[in-house]
């Protein structure tokens, strides 16, 4: 396995479990509150680190504030064996946070305030350029400024490193933004936003993936939750069947998938095998509380893969 670099957001999750969302002017009492390290970048880094061969093979690139939340997130990643030597602190700025409401069926609603993440700049793409040699995959999302993500993708492409991009949160991007992406991994809502096709089932996922791929993207994987994942590339056009688990919370399911996918790619797996590893990671994640704490180990993921081989 080669190293995995993760560029992305770091947010402290403020999680509220509730029977339902409150309406305008209404108060609905929640049932539980807790905090947990999160952010799409942090989540993907932890997912990858728990699946990686050795400590230090996952490098986190991003920004936190000089505050308690930032230090708590950095310490958690360090304890997971993630290389945080290029994680930069931003003065006079709060670390990112995300308020997450979880309903009884596990569905989640997320309201982030990106804080220090918004201050990512050319220092982050330069940091990636300095460590790109020997890297097997670059994982990106859209929680940091788009120009930083784009510059980092170009660095990776120039070095021949595959790029996995989670197009979340959905943003308006330049027409050529995704041209150099190796694998794009939208969920159903993101696929709808990008294709104009409402993704409600497997046939609509296939149609949306084809339309998205027509923009010049090498491979598109539409994650479908309990329906599995649709893989669309020059070599594959097929559904990967889901793993059957009891869903507790869907927080960070997509991040677990991307972390597993990135590790698979950096290990030399085929796209389908790497996606299956990502799906196993996502399935285990949704069966647990939290985000980064819910990510599985390699042994747990391989056990689930073997059980449904």
User: 124: closest CA among 110, 138, 136, 135?
Assistant: 138
Secondary structure, 3-state, the chain: CCEEEEECCCEEEEEEEECCCCCCCCCCCEEEEEEEEECHHHHHHHHHHHHCCCCCCEEEEEEEECCHHHHHHHHHHHHCCCECCCEEEECCCCCEEEEEEECCCCCEEEEEECHHHHHCCHHHHHHHHHHCCCEEEEEECCCCCHHHHHHHHHHHHHCCCCEEECCCCCCCCCCCCCCCCCEECCCHHHHHHHHCCCCCCHHHHHHHHHHHHCCCCCEEEEECHHHCEEEECCCCEEEECCCCCCCCCCCCHHHHHHHHHHHHHHCCCCHHHHHHHHHHHHHHHHCCCCCHHHCCCHHHHHHHHHHCC
Secondary structure, 3-state, 23-54: CCCCCCCEEEEEEEEECHHHHHHHHHHHHCCC
Q: Which two tokens stand for residue 263?
A: 């590790």
261-296 b/e (C-beta count within 10 Å ≥ 16 → b): bbbbbbbebebbebbbbbbbbbbbbbbbebbbebbb
- 83 classed as catalytic: no
- The catalytic residue among 3, 127, 166, 255 is 255
Instruction: Please identify every residue annotated as catalytic.
Output: 255
């Amino acid at each position: 396995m080669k190293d995995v670099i993760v560029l992305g957001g770091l947010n402290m999750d403020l999680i509220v479990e509730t029977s339902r969302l409150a309406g305008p002017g209404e108060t609905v009492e929640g049932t539980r509150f807790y905090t947990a390290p999160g952010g799409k970048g942090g989540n993907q880094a932890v997912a990858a680190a728990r699946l990686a061969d050795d400590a230090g093979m996952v490098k986190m690139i991003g920004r936190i504030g000089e505050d308690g939340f930032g230090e708590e997130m950095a310490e958690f990643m360090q304890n997971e064996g993630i290389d945080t030597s290029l994680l930069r602190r931003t003065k006079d700025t709060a670390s990112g946070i995300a308020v997450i409401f979880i309903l009884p069926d596990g569905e989640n609603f997320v309201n982030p305030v990106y804080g220090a993440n918004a201050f990512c700049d050319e220092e982050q793409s330069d940091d990636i350029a300095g460590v790109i040699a020997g890297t097997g995959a670059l994982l990106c999302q859209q929680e940091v400024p788009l120009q930083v993500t784009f510059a980092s993708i170009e660095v990776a492409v120039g070095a021949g490193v595959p790029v996995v991009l989670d197009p979340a949160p959905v943003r308006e991007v330049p027409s050529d933004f995704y041209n150099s992406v190796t694998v794009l991994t939208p969920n159903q809502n993101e696929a709808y936003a990008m294709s104009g096709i409402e993704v409600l089932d497997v046939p609509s996922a296939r149609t949306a993936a084809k339309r998205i791929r027509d923009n010049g993207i090498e491979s598109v994987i539409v994650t479908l939750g309990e329906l599995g994942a649709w893989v669309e590339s020059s070599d594959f056009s097929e559904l990967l069947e889901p793993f059957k688990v009891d869903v507790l919370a869907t927080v960070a399911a997509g991040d677990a998938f991307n972390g597993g996918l990135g590790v698979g790619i950096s290990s030399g797996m085929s796209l389908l095998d790497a996606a299956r590893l990502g799906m196993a990671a996502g399935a285990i994640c949704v069966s647990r509380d939290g985000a980064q704490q819910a990510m599985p180990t390699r042994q747990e993921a391989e056990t689930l893969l073997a059980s449904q081989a």
